[in-house]
Amino acid sequence: MLIGVGLGPGDHELLTLKAVRLLKEAEKIYVPGEIAGRLVREYRECEVLEFPMCDDEAGIRACIESHAEKIAIEAESGLVVFGILGDPNVYSTFARLCEIMKEKYPNIRCSTEPGVSAVTAFASVANIPLCNGFIVSDGSAPFERVIMKVRNPKETAESLKMQGYDRFILVERMFMERMKVYNDDELPEKSDYMSILYAGKRYA
């Protein structure tokens, strides 16, 4: 099993309790760079894997495929943690690694555990509360939307379909009692105040 574990924005005190537990339980730990390595070594030894920071897509894929082959050997029989700065689901190297793992090693389960993201950490350091709608982008056109406190998910999704969105996931009462996850056509008419709706474009 391979788990992408968020290590937070760089402060070792911002690791979650669950992240620390998984680091201690893992049979092998990999990190994509020395900054993440320093955070992990507060608890365990780890192996640093280098990833190119460039626009050479073929080179990047070849590098990730090579790392995936190495990781798969350990993950087939034990718990492997891939520790990554911030959150493993937000602009993350781990997401690309998982795509290749699922393609080449479909028998290995990949999952993630969230960490404090750079976005929320930035708001704290800058002392700027983000209380209205805002866009987070790496400079490319935004093809995904995350809507918090959505009370009419089905109606909202129908409106977004007119803008080209065709994939929807609703999470209601996340990490609470009676948590529910709805996909596409399962969206209810009404949802709890503690609800988040994801809208994406499959063919963007």
Does residue 151 share a domain with residue 98?
A: no
Does residue 191 share a domain with residue 111?
A: no
Q: Which of 119, 154, 171 is the last residue of a domain?
A: 119
In a domain, 82, yes or no: yes
- Structure confidence at residue 204 (pLDDT): 55
- The pLDDT tens digits of the residues spanning 117-132 come to 999 999 998 898 988 8
Number of domains in the chain: 2
CATH code assigned at 30: 3.40.1010.10
Q: Which of 119, 154, 181 is the last residue of a domain?
A: 119
Q: Quickly list DSSP for the chain.
A: -EEEEE-BSS-GGGS-HHHHHHHHH-SEEEESSHHHHHHHTTTS--EE-----SS-HHHHHHHHHHHHHHHHHHHTTS-EEEEESB-TTSS-HHHHHHHHHHHH-TTS-EEEE----HHHHHHHHHT----S-----SSSPP--EEEES-S-HHHHHHHHHTTT--EEEEEESTTSTT-EEEEGGG--SS--SSEEEEEE-TT-
- Structure confidence at residue 92 (pLDDT): 87
Does residue 93 share a domain with residue 21?
A: yes
pLDDT less than 70: residues of the chain = 203-204
In a domain, 140, yes or no: no
In a domain, 31, yes or no: yes
Provide the residue range defining the domain that includes 28. 2-119
- The pLDDT tens digits of the residues spanning 48-90 come to 999 887 778 898 999 999 999 999 999 999 999 999 999 999 9
Does residue 171 share a domain with residue 114?
A: no
